[in-house]
Amino acid sequence: MADNQNSEDEARERENRMEEGSSSTTVGFYALPEGCISNIISLTSPQDACRSLVVSSEFRSAADSDAVWERFLPSDYRDILSRSASAVDFPSKKDLYFHLCDHPILIDDGQKSFALERRSGKKCFMIATNELSIVWGSTPQYWAWRFHPESRFSEVAELLEVCWLEVHGKIETRMLSPRTIYGAYLVFKLAENRRGLDILPAELSVRFAGTEGGDVRSVYLDPQSPRQPYHRNRMTFSQLLRRRFSLLRPPMLEGRQEAQYPQERQDGWLEIEMGEFFNDRGEDGEVEMNLMEVKGGHWKCGLIIQGIEIRPKQIK
């Protein structure tokens, strides 16, 4: 009995020592200098830093510090900001970070916009239409360059009428965040009098320069395109009239529900994914983004292009 009692006393004493050690460890962590806590938080993520604000007043002060948010900003952010048309100045690095998340800034003489992805701090860019290569783009009969009140850029490109739709863009991989999966998105609107964009799917692709092939996506630029396939011998009377009096229109394709359709953005524009890539090319790579609809030979109009956006993809 005495032996059992002694064993129980020893066990309780060990538990008490463990609890005291755990308590002293916790107190010791809070006793760390603020700079040390800031350094630890800076090794996490912007999302984790925001969560740590509610832990304690010590954590709040450390998590709000410039030392933390400087690490979350891109290493070349000063160079990027120096290319802005207007001064970008904020009282803290945290304020600067969230401003860049919510308010893209124009850089490179207004030909690109720069922003940050909120959760990760990775870089996002949009390339203006002035920086894109558009076949027949300099011919006023086919394309018009004009101001649009809802565009972040000074001009957009509006398709007046072409039968050969071809647009190319490119971006150097050194501008982007390394080791990151990016998606490229065509950002556009459609005019009320649009025509010919609902007949055949356009082909979108993204690939590294100097490589062949790559994933080619079939997309319908007009979200009101019919989403159910039908055969020629099942055309309605109105469809037969349209075919009879629009001889340049090619036959509608079967299986069109397999193509992608645009989605509306928060800023009111439409976007459709052109493709994705993993940025592992370092300083020397270049990514090419392409839009083509050249197979039908029919006339198209009413496409208003703001640009191509390249941003990190959300990993689900």
Q: Same structural domain for residues 244 and 280?
A: yes
Q: Same structural domain for residues 67 and 120?
A: no
What is the pLDDT at residue 298? 92
For residue 118, what are its two tokens? 């909120």
- In which domain, by residue range, is 280 found? 99-312
Q: Same structural domain for residues 119 and 55?
A: no
3-state secondary structure 234-254: HCCHHHHHHHHHCCCCCCCCC
80 assigned to some structural domain: no
Q: Same structural domain for residues 135 and 183?
A: yes
Q: Which residues contact 122 (CB under 8 A, 6 or more apart)?
A: 74, 116, 177, 180, 312
Three-class secondary structure of residue 31 per DSSP:
coil
What is the pLDDT at residue 19? 52
146 assigned to some structural domain: yes
Q: Which helix (H) or strand (E) holds 170?
A: strand 165-172
What is the pLDDT at residue 44? 79
Over the chain (316 residues), the average pLDDT of each successive run of 10 is: 55 53 52 74 80 73 86 95 91 94 96 96 97 97 97 97 97 96 98 93 94 86 68 43 43 53 95 95 90 93 98 81
The CATH number of residue 227's host domain is: 2.60.120.260
281, 177 Cβ separation under 8 angstroms: no
Q: Same structural domain for residues 122 and 257?
A: yes
300, 198 Cβ separation under 8 angstroms: no
What is the pLDDT at residue 42? 76
What is the pLDDT at residue 167? 98
Q: Which residues contact 291 (CB under 8 A, 6 or more apart)?
A: 165, 166, 167, 168, 186, 202, 203, 204, 274
In this structure, what DSSP letter does residue 176 have? S
What is the pLDDT at residue 309? 98
Q: Same structural domain for residues 180 and 54?
A: no
Q: Same structural domain for residues 16 and 106?
A: no
Q: Which residues contact 65 (CB under 8 A, 6 or more apart)?
A: 34, 38
